[in-house]
């Protein structure tokens, strides 16, 4: 299974994105082989960018062969560990305090790590730093 980061799904739906073709190809190949999925966190991000209801997003995703998964509770400690490292690094490097609660990418990365799934994203830097066990795929 390949877990899809939100930015990749957005790119695949936006024909003006420079990543449109590569994202669609990556998703299509994943659906045809190992499977492609988004979790509830990515779904929430996608819904925030839509004026219509979540059911429409789910229909669009399922219509493309993308599976939807809830975020397992067992991903929480993985997310927390990675986010603590991020906050410490940010503070140490002079970047100031990060929000107290994890950002969406940390939930997505933790889910991929827990399940042993690959993660497709066009923004690999944070995932590479904080989820070393996750194999990343870039469009």
- Confidence band (pLDDT; 50, 70, 90) for 113? very high
- Confidence band (pLDDT; 50, 70, 90) for 53? low
- pLDDT at residue 126, as a whole number: 87
- pLDDT at residue 54, as a whole number: 64
Instruction: Identify the structural domains of the chain with CATH numbers, from first to last.
Output: 2-137 (3.40.50.1010)
At 69-112, the pLDDT tens digits run: 999 999 999 999 999 999 999 888 888 788 889 999 999 999 99
Three-class SS state of 49: coil
Three-class SS state of 39: strand
Residues 6+ apart with CB under 8 A from 80: 102
Average pLDDT taken over every residue of the chain: 93
């Amino acid at each position: 299974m390949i877990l899809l980061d939100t930015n990749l799904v957005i790119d695949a739906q936006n024909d003006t994105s420079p990543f449109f073709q590569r994202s669609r190809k990556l998703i299509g190949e994943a659906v045809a082989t190992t499977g492609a999925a988004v979790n509830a966190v990515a779904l929430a991000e996608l819904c925030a960018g839509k004026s219509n209801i979540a059911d429409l997003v789910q229909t669009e995703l399922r219509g493309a062969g993308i599976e939807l998964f809830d975020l397992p509770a067992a991903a929480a400690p993985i997310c927390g560990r990675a986010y603590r490292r991020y906050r410490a690094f940010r503070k140490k490097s002079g970047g100031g305090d990060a929000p107290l609660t994890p950002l969406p990418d940390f939930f997505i990365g933790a889910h991929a790590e827990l399940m042993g799934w690959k993660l497709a994203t066009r923004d690999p830097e944070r995932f590479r730093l904080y989820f070393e066990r996750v194999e990343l795929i870039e469009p």
